[in-house]
Amino acid sequence: MKILVAEPLAKQGLEILRAHHDVDEKIGLKPDELAAIIGDYDALLVRSQVKVTADILAHATRLIVIGRAGVGVDNVDLEAATKAGIVVVNAPTGNTVSAAEQTITLMLALAHRTGAADASMRRGEWKRSSFTGVELRGRTLGIIGLGKIGQAVADRARGLEMNVIGSDPFVTAEQAALHGVTLVDVDTIIETADVITVHVPLTKGTRGIINADNIGKLKPGVMLINVARGGVYDEAAVARALVDGKIAGAAFDVYETEPPAADNPLLTAPNTVLTPHLGALTAEAQLRVAEEACEQVIDVLAGRSARYAVNAPLLTPETSRAIAPYLPLTVILGRIAAQYLRGGVKTLTIDVAGDLAGHDASQLTAAALRGILENATSERVNLINAAFLARNRGITVNERKTNDAGTFASLVTLTVEGDSGRAIVAGTVANGEPRLIRIDDSWLDMAPAPFMLMTRHQDKPGTMGRIGLMLGEANVNISSMTLARTAPHLDALMLLAVDDDVPDAVITEIRKNQAVLDVWSIRAATDR
């Protein structure tokens, strides 16, 4: 087969490709030049500069796989690639060590005031007493997000004799302990850590995880580090806290806007160390991402699954007829189950009943895992890599089949279990549309909406009306509603489809109602 390398790639990666196929290196092609020749190739390798647009892909009549030597795939039109049956792979683990080392570097620079001391020296000054630092030994490092990079940071911090605490809803206490980490909640980290570093994807739930509301709870003298994603810290709030002296220092490698605007308050805030997104910019990381991307390209060309595919492959016609209508349903069920459980999932059991039981359920399982994991990892989760990511996070997966689906032709039921308890959600497809059928022991029939509000409440007259009034006063429109009761005047589950996210303040007010036992704001649509 023929492979086109359109950007500079480490020679070790090129050697991997050339050991199996014909390779052409054509660097600096203009878009029209790339479009003119892409039809001759089975695989394309890029980094970050070449834009693989829908127009270029329209000419890629032979292309099987696109390899991105790096993490982000913003320069590849994923939708167009998927529609064309082209697998896109990236290299998300090659920068783990480099990002962890950058985190430790910034932490040491803050503790020993390296940046400010260097700047002073270059001004011709010798002000030793102005740059008294602190030792990290014996201090507490709080890590929010214990994925690959978070764990690597923990390993290195233990070498500095730091106490390490961490928070991650998808990591067990036993897994954390393997890296010397005591598992706690985010509030404990905020209140007790001397140094805080965040290693999570940027989602609705993680945006501004350190913000104006909780900065006042930080331990005096705390240092903050961001080598994850711009936006996980409220940059303006951090800058104000630095000016006010509530924070001893902050080190940022990533920013909400890159490069940061000239008026970004971090640029003028005191006690900062700022670097231009260097977390993955080492010779070793560039080598590893090249090797990782090239190895996957070889796998795909050989008909094997790629370890880090970022889009779902096309289904075979046979599988498509039976499974495809249930894949979006099962992703939605996974999203609902994860949010309903309110905690890390340790076990997923998927029950496939009825006509579906006669088919391979592995893609349904992958779809469920995608829904459960997609907002808990910086890696893009899809039908290819979901099972791998689940194994890495210690999630046990069980598949069960039965021909008996009751009154339904087919039924998919997810049971998720974790430290916070157990949750059951089930659904089916009717007239080609997903239907939510069951939540725990409550049976209902509702089309899942992108935004939903769910309550468990005592079945008292007026409760539903009061909740509706609170939503109306907050300008939250209700598009549909379903109610399931255990028995009259006992308790009920109410599910509302709403047009927008319900504000946290409204959730708090609903929770104050004496008849309300619990309330959830559910997003059935993805953040990504």
- Point out the catalytic residue in the list 277, 307, 435, 456: 277
234-240, long-range: CB < 8 A, 24+ apart: 234/208, 234/210, 235/264, 235/265, 235/266, 236/265, 237/208, 237/210, 237/211, 237/212, 238/210, 238/266, 238/269, 239/265, 239/266, 239/268, 239/269, 240/212, 240/265
Cβ pair 76, 311 in contact under 8 A: no
- Point out the catalytic residue in the list 15, 33, 161, 258: 258
Is residue 466 part of the annotated active site? The answer reads no
Cβ pair 17, 41 in contact under 8 A: no
Cβ pair 283, 3 in contact under 8 A: no
Residue 28: count of CB within 10 angstroms of its CB: 10
Which tokens belong to 244? 């006010």
Phi, psi of 183 (to 5 degrees): -80, 125
- Point out the catalytic residue in the list 139, 156, 199, 229: 229
| 3-state DSSP assignment of residue 439 | strand
Residue 477: count of CB within 10 angstroms of its CB: 11
Cβ pair 308, 91 in contact under 8 A: yes
Nearest alpha-carbon partner for 160 in 135, 197, 190: 135
Is residue 161 part of the annotated active site? The answer reads no
- Categorise residue 139: left if φ over 0, alpha if ψ from -120 to 50, beta otherwise: beta
Is residue 438 part of the annotated active site? The answer reads no
CA-only gyration radius of the chain, Å: 25
Cβ pair 478, 498 in contact under 8 A: yes
Q: Using alpha carbons only, what angle is made at residue 263 by residues 259 and 267, rounded to the nearest 5 degrees?
A: 70
Q: Using alpha carbons only, what angle is made at residue 290 by residues 287 and 295, rounded to the nearest 5 degrees?
A: 125
Nearest alpha-carbon partner for 318 in 361, 362, 355, 359: 359
Strand order in the sheet with 223-226: 181-183, 163-167, 140-144, 195-198, 223-226, 249-252, 272-274
Nearest alpha-carbon partner for 201 in 240, 171, 168: 168
Give the C-alpha separation, 515 to 466, whole Å. Answer: 10
In one-letter notation, the amino acid at residue 95 is: N
Residues with a catalytic annotation lie at: 229, 258, 277
